[in-house]
Amino acid sequence: MSTMSIDVGGLLLESVPFARTLGVVFDAVSEGRAVCHVPDREDLRNHVGGPHAGVLFTLAESASGAAVLSVFGDQLGRAVPLPTTATIDFRKVATGEIRAEARLLASRAEVLERLEAGERPVFDVAVDLTNADGTVVSTLTVTWTLRPNRP
């Protein structure tokens, strides 16, 4: 079942006020993928003139969450998606507007199979962060779980 009938970006921005504070904009969300960006704002810059690492992380985590919701949003009645760990590789100094592209690395079927078996499934989302010219400035792997709701 597709969950794309819901506004995934809107749902995420409604439930994560900090993403709204940073000005995260969702450009596209499709089955297992999400693209968003954060505008270049002086108040979000670090000591070298680019977006602060916290901005980069929040942008990437927001994209990964949208990718997860695009596949598992219809499961919210029985499980809540939660990030459990994240690793970030800073490759180059980020400057200007930054774009995040996230992609789910697991299939819906395998994750739901584990959930049905009474397990708490764990799966990864890969995220690339790029400058306006397309240069990859950071990569992240965000590990997510679906935590069954308590009765």
* pLDDT per position as a tens digit, 95-135: 999 999 999 999 999 999 999 998 999 999 999 999 999 99
Q: Looking at residue 102, which CATH number applies to its domain?
A: 3.10.129.10
Average pLDDT, the chain: 93
Q: What is the DSSP string of the chain?
A: ---TTS-HHHHHHHH-HHHHHHT-EEEEEETTEEEEEE---GGGB-TTSSB-HHHHHHHHHHHHHHHHHHHHGGGTTTEEEEEEEEEEEE-S---SSEEEEEEE-S-HHHHHHHHHTT---EEEEEEEEE-TT--EEEEEEEEEEEEEPP-
Confidence of residue 5 (pLDDT cuts 50, 70, 90): low
Predicted local confidence at residue 22, as pLDDT: 93
Predicted local confidence at residue 15, as pLDDT: 87
Asked whether residue 2 is assigned to any structural domain, the reply reads no
Asked whether residue 1 is assigned to any structural domain, the reply reads no
Asked whether residue 78 is assigned to any structural domain, the reply reads yes
Asked whether residue 3 is assigned to any structural domain, the reply reads no
Asked whether residue 135 is assigned to any structural domain, the reply reads yes
* pLDDT per position as a tens digit, 49-79: 999 999 999 999 999 999 999 999 999 999 9
Q: Which domain holds residue 114?
A: 8-148
Asked whether residue 22 is assigned to any structural domain, the reply reads yes
